[in-house]
Amino acid sequence: MQKDKNLNFETYEEAANWFDTHDMAEYEEWMQPVDFEFDLRRNRDWVELENDVAKSLRKLARSQRVPTRKLVNELLRDGLSSHNL
């Protein structure tokens, strides 16, 4: 089976969905080492989710046709407002 070695994603969610359904070992021949730097703390707050929670969120977001980050923000905002925060 021919593999597409030109992977381009419009959103993080689109990339996450692709990686959830593909085995990177099948693409190893096209991989090459790269150097890069990034700062997870810059302009964002990151929260580690349990695997089952993250999968459920992605599934729900897909069914609602919204980006996962938008759904998570809406759910958290609703939860916080119930606590008057």
The tens digit of pLDDT for each residue in 6-62 reads 678 888 888 888 888 888 888 888 888 889 887 766 767 778 899 999 999 999 999
Is-contact 46 12, C-beta < 8 A?
Answer: no
Residue 4: predicted pLDDT = 61
pTM of the model: 0.49
Neighbours of 61 (CB within 10 A): 19
What's the whole-number mean pLDDT along residues 70-81?
94
Dihedral sign from CA coordinates of 16, 11, 38, 34:
positive
Confidence band of 81 (pLDDT split at 50, 70, 90): very high
